[in-house]
């Protein structure tokens, strides 16, 4: 998936999602809500998991579970794998800045998982570790996206102890099988072993690590090319592949539509890959489906099509949007203020509210 795909995903119109039960727009906040001056409020009770029905026809119908009085930290005591097996739809964020502070804010905001992006972000293993620590402290699972599908990066990433690992540009059963082997110790794979001292095993203090490490790691393979789509069913069926992550922008680029990811042919290819994964049964060796929200295909839309993991934004994109809007409001305020001064000169009333950005 190219760099542009990360930034494109954050321009998604999340209005359908924001108007759901998770957020209340322009209404008074209940007593247990956190409110902002922009009249956007959300209740901690509405940050409950979304569960997919287990209809026999694989229909992507969605039902919302009953509100829970438990806190966000209580929900995160189970692993990503366990929550997916329980039928939850998970909502995540991509962390491109490698800022532990932004990672911590994301965790406290209620995201179900955060992907620390070593493929397109500027950081490496050392920087990723600090972000994982921030996320762990706030009880939010971290997923590490690798720069490439190779044993060295996988080994170093897994030793940090993330709950998930994402391999880019998987195009065949062979690629997926190799990715899984990088996550398994011999004789099941080729992962290098330093389990007696690495962070993943609590530096050797967790004596049961070797017995349960495999079940605690969510292995995600990205399908982001025409070749990958053709083999999506085979990739999803590889033993050990837990989730297939769609990469819409790289897919569009591979088809000759880099600047038009919403092209009809790209959308048809996406649907083909989605169907290949959704018709597999994770309980019988299949995989879950994960993806990015896009401007032409929002978070609510892909959730409605049956995606099990939805990444709706990127940290730098959220900050960029907020910063651009903040500057726009200020400069528009100056224009309005100037207009107001002219109005005063002519004895007209001035709307002071126009100046302020809130």
Q: What is the CATH number of the domain that holds 106?
A: 3.20.20.60
CA distance 235 to 239: 9
In this prediction, residues 291-313 reach a mean pLDDT of: 96
Q: What number is the average pLDDT over the span 168-186?
A: 98
Going edge to edge, which strands form the sheet with 33-35?
A: 24-25, 40-43, 33-35
Task: Kindly state whether residue 127 falls inside one of the protein's structural domains.
Answer: yes
Domain-embedded: residue 276: yes
The whole domain housing 207 covers: 80-320
What are the distances in angstroms from CA 201 to CA 2, 45, 194, 209, 338?
33, 34, 9, 6, 63
Report the C-alpha gap between 306 and 278 in whole angstroms.
7
pLDDT-based confidence at residue 338 (cuts at 50, 70, 90): low
Average pLDDT over residues 16-37: 37
User: Rg of the chain's alpha carbons, rounded to an integer?
Assistant: 22
Q: CA dihedral defined by 219, 220, 225, 227, rounded to 10 degrees?
A: 40
Q: How confident is the model at residue 336 (pLDDT cuts 50, 70, 90)?
A: confident
pLDDT at 78: 82
Q: Select which of 120, 263, 296, 346 is catalytic.
A: 120
Residue 347 confidence (pLDDT) above 60: no
Count up the domains in the chain and report the number: 1
In a domain, 23, yes or no: no
Q: What is the mean pLDDT of the chain?
A: 81
Does any domain span residue 121?
yes
Residue 146 lies inside a defined structural domain of this protein: yes
What pLDDT does 108 receive? 97
In this structure, is residue 124 part of a structural domain? yes
Q: For residue 220, report the phi and psi dihedrals to the nearest 5 degrees.
A: -115, 130
**For position 53, what pLDDT does the model report?**
41
pTM of the model: 0.75
- Whether residue 120 lies inside any domain: the answer is yes
Residue 33 has pLDDT above 50, yes or no: no
How confident is the model over 80-114, as pLDDT tens digits?
999 999 999 999 999 999 999 999 999 999 999 99
Q: Is 195 a catalytic residue?
A: no
* Distance of alpha carbon 310 from alpha carbon 302, whole angstroms: 7
pLDDT at 6 over 50: no
Q: Which of 109, 101, 139 is nearest to 44 (CA)?
A: 109
* Residue 113 covered by a domain: yes
Q: Which of 86-100, 154-168, 335-349 has the lowest mean pLDDT?
A: 335-349
Tokens of 290: 């994960």
Among 32-36, 198-202, 312-316, which is the least confidently predicted range? 32-36
pLDDT average, residue stretch 174-180: 98
């Amino acid at each position: 998936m190219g760099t542009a795909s990360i930034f494109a995903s954050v321009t998604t119109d999340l209005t359908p999602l924001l108007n759901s039960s998770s957020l209340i727009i322009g209404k008074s906040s209940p007593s247990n809500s956190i409110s902002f001056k922009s009249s956007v409020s959300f209740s901690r009770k509405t940050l409950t998991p979304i569960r997919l029905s287990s209809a026999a026809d694989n229909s992507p119908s969605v039902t919302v579970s009953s509100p829970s009085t438990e806190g966000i930290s209580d929900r995160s005591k189970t692993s990503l794998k366990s929550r997916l097996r329980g039928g939850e739809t998970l909502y995540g964020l991509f962390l491109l800045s490698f800022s532990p502070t932004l990672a911590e804010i994301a965790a406290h905001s209620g995201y179900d998982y955060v992907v620390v992006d070593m493929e397109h972000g500027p950081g490496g293993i050392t920087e990723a570790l600090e972000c994982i620590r921030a996320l762990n402290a706030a009880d939010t699972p971290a997923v590490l996206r690798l720069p490439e599908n190779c044993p060295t990066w996988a080994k170093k990433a897994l030793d940090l102890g993330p709950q998930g690992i994402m391999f880019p540009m998987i195009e065949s059963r062979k690629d997926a099988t190799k990715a899984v082997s990088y996550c398994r110790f011999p004789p099941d794979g080729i992962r290098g072993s330093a389990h007696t001292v690495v962070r993943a095993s609590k530096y050797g203090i967790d004596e049961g690590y070797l017995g349960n490490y495999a079940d605690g790691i969510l292995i995600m393979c990205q399908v982001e090319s025409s070749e990958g789509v053709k083999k999506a069913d085979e990739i999803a069926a590889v033993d050990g592949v837990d989730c297939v992550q769609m990469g819409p922008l790289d897919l569009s680029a591979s088809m000759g539509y880099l600047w038009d990811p919403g092209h009809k042919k790209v959308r048809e290819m996406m649907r083909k890959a989605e169907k290949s994964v959704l018709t597999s049964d994770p309980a019988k060796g299949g995989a879950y489906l994960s993806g990015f929200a896009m401007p032409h295909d929002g978070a609510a839309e892909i959730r409605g099509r049956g995606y099990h993991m939805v990444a709706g934004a990127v940290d730098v994109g959220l900050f960029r949007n907020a910063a651009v809007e903040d500057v726009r409001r200020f400069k528009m305020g100056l224009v309005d203020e100037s207009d107001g001064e002219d109005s005063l000169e002519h004895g007209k009333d001035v709307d002071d509210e126009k100046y302020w950005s809130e």
